Structure 1
């Protein structure tokens, strides 16, 4: 594992992407920043992080054994790995909010942003951005319901040790992915989903309705079952949980 530590950057994903164009980098090269000025979440959402307080990093992988249609499996591997580590510090309440956020109860603790490059129908390169709120106490942006690990357990955490644990656990699940254990990964992901039990209120472009999570497809679509037993499929940003 090659770790590159920097003070500040606009985006660790962008930094790692530009660096990979200039030189050959080994898989599991990691860029870790104390601060970033233009952190992004899914679909361009901003990511607030107080300097030196949290984990802001990007990981380089070459998952050329995955097709375009299987790219969501990589997202599952990463978010499961993060949740596994957080579960060792928090007794209960950690869950995965589809598609790839980590929540504590109703508050966002971590998020990931994966950017893939393709050759033909295969993924040639993936840059995995991770933002995890660790020691931050005050959040000033308009991001909804953020929470940090310190706010949950009341203890200042060593971000370097925590990152090592997270990378190790992602590597554990990545090896399972490479060995073909895709059904296991998807099952663990599903079992870890936020609000997976019972019916909840959702809103799409047409209406507010009650439904329960039936499954998440291999392509990452959320399948909801309404009370009238109608199956509805959604991609990210097409549906919101109320």
Structure 2
């Protein structure tokens, strides 16, 4: 494992992407920044974190034998790794808000951004970026955000948290490499936020509808049992869960 620690950078994912354009980084190359000036989340969202209080990191994982069509299993494995790491620090009521936000009860602790390196239709590796709220106490204009410290009252050593996340990432990537896809998908679906509960969704056209989350497809679409008694599948850009 090769860890690069930086005081400030625009984005740890961008740093690894730039590295991978010339030659693939070593397996489990990790970039950690005290401050990200342009942290990115899903669909271009900004990730804002107070300097020095949180864990903003990206990991490069080589995946030379992984099928491009099974990319969502990477997202599932990463979500499960972070949940398992957080459990070791006694964080309560952990859930995964589709596709890969990590919640405690209904507050967000961690965002994940996975960018796969694909050349000639072959998956070379995966850049796994995550922003985990560790010791931050104040989240202005973010009523659904929380941190490990806010939830437990403990001030955490960020290096210890990082070590645990990396340990669990290694565990779940070994599961992936052993093709334990069914086990990974089942564990992921069992942790889905609001699974089997009536929920409200908003479409990309700003329409709202009610439905019940059933699970996900192998390529990551959300399966929702809708009011007209049909299970429909949705991509990330198509709907948003309101909560």
TM-score by length of 1: 0.94
Distance 1:178 1:123 in 2: 14
Moved more, 36-45 or 192-201: 192-201
Per-residue CA deviations over 1:55-108 (Å, capped at 9, x if unaligned) read: 000100111222222101001111100001112233531100000110111111
1:6·1:34 contact (CA, 8 Å) conserved in 2? yes
Match of 1:114 in 2: 114
Distance 2:22 2:83 in 1: 33
Q: Which 5+ residue runs of structure 1 have no aligned equivalent?
A: none
What SS class does the counterpart of residue 13 from structure 1 fall into? helix
Structure 1 residue 206, shift from structure 2 partner: 6.3
Distance 1:82 1:13 in 2: 17
Give the match for residue 236 of structure 1: 236
* Equivalence for 1:181: 180
CA-atom RMSD, angstroms? 1.5
Task: Give the equivalent residue in structure 1 for 2:196.
Answer: 197
2:7 aligned with 1:7: yes
Structure 1 runs (4+) greater than 3 angstroms displaced: 20-24
- CA–CA distance in 2 between the matches of 1:221 and 1:115? 17
Q: Return the alpha-carbon distance in structure 1 between the equivalents of residues 134 and 91 of structure 2.
A: 16
TM-score (norm 2): 0.94
What is the total number of aligned residue pairs between the two structures? 241
1:200 to partner: Cα distance: 1.3
Alignment check: 8 A CA contact 1:114 1:127 kept: yes
- Output the CA distance in 2 between the equivalents of 1:111 and 1:68: 23
